[in-house]
Chains A and B, each alone.
Chain A
Amino acid sequence: DTGVSQDPRHKITKRGQNVTFRCDPISEHNRLYWYRQTLGQGPEFLTYFQNEAQLEKSRLLSDRFSAERPKGSFSTLEIQRTEQGDSAMYLCASSSSTGSYEQYFGPGTRLTVT
C-alpha cells in the first residue's frame, strides 16, 4: 500500500500564473477528493470524483479552478491566473465507494502565490 501521493509537495508561483497539481490515489479506490486548507482552519471540500465522473463541486471552486480525472485513476487540479488568496495547502484524498468509510489523505501540496 503506497498510500495517496501528491506532486509537487511545494509550489511557489507569481500572481497571475497557472499551476497544476497531481494526485495519485490508492490504486483500488474509485473515489477521489480535493480539499483546500488555509492556516489555522480545517480542510474545506472542493470537489470529488467517482471513477472519472466529477460528482460534486463546492461553490469555493471558482471558474479559475478545474479538476480532472480522465481515466479514473490520477487527478489534476489546475488553478488559472493565481491570486494571493489561493495560497493554501491543497489536499487530495481517496476512498472506496462501498464498504470502507475512511478517506485516506495525501501529504498535500503547499501553494504560495507571491
Chain B
Amino acid sequence: DAKTTQPTSMDCAEGRAANLPCNHSTISGNEYVYWYRQIHSQGPQYIIHGLKNNETNEMASLIITEDRKSSTLILPHATLRDTAVYYCIVSRRGVDGGATNKLIFGTGTLLAVQP
C-alpha cells in the first residue's frame, strides 16, 4: 500500500474551515484514499473516502488532485470537538471488491481547533 505524508500538526480557528493536506505520490490506480480521525482516548473514526472524484458527506469534503498524488480533507466549519489526530490512508479494495482488509496508519496530523 502507498505511503502518505502529512504535516505533524495544524491549528484552526473555531468556525473556520480546516484544510488538511496529504501527499500520496506513489498511489496506484486501484488504491483509495481514506480519512479517519482519532479523538483523544477514543478509537479511530471513519470520515470519508474517495478514488478519483471529489467527495462530500455530512462530516467533510475530500478533494483529490487530478493526478491523484495528493488530497485535502476539508472540515467546513471546525468546532472544538474536531480537535483530533487526522489520518490519511491509502489502501486497495479487497479482492472481493469490498472493504479493504487492513488500514496502514501513519502518525497523522494533530489538528488543534482554537476558540
Using a CB–CB cutoff of 8 Å, the interface residues on chain A facing chain B are: 4, 31, 33, 35, 40-45, 48, 55-56, 91, 93, 95-108
CA–CA, A48 and B108, complex, Å: 23
**A91–B34 CB distance below 8 A:** no
Interface residue from A97, A103, A106 paired with B96 (Cβ < 8 Å): A97
Number of B residues whose C-beta is below 8 Å from A?
Answer: 25
Per the bound structure, the CA–CA distance linking A43 and B104 in Å amounts to 8
Task: Report the nearest A residue to B91, measured CB to CB.
Answer: A101
A48 → B minimal CB distance (Å): 6
Residues of B within 8 A of A (CB): 32, 34, 42-46, 49, 85, 87, 93-94, 96-108
Please state if A33 and B43 are interface contacts (CB–CB under 8 Å). no
Q: Are B102 and A101 in contact (CB under 8 A)?
A: no
18 pairs, A vs B, C-beta closer than 8 Å? A31-B101, A33-B102, A43-B44, A43-B103, A48-B102, A56-B102, A91-B44, A93-B43, A97-B98, A98-B98, A99-B98, A101-B99, A102-B99, A103-B99, A104-B46, A105-B45, A108-B42, A108-B43
Closest to A105 in B: B43
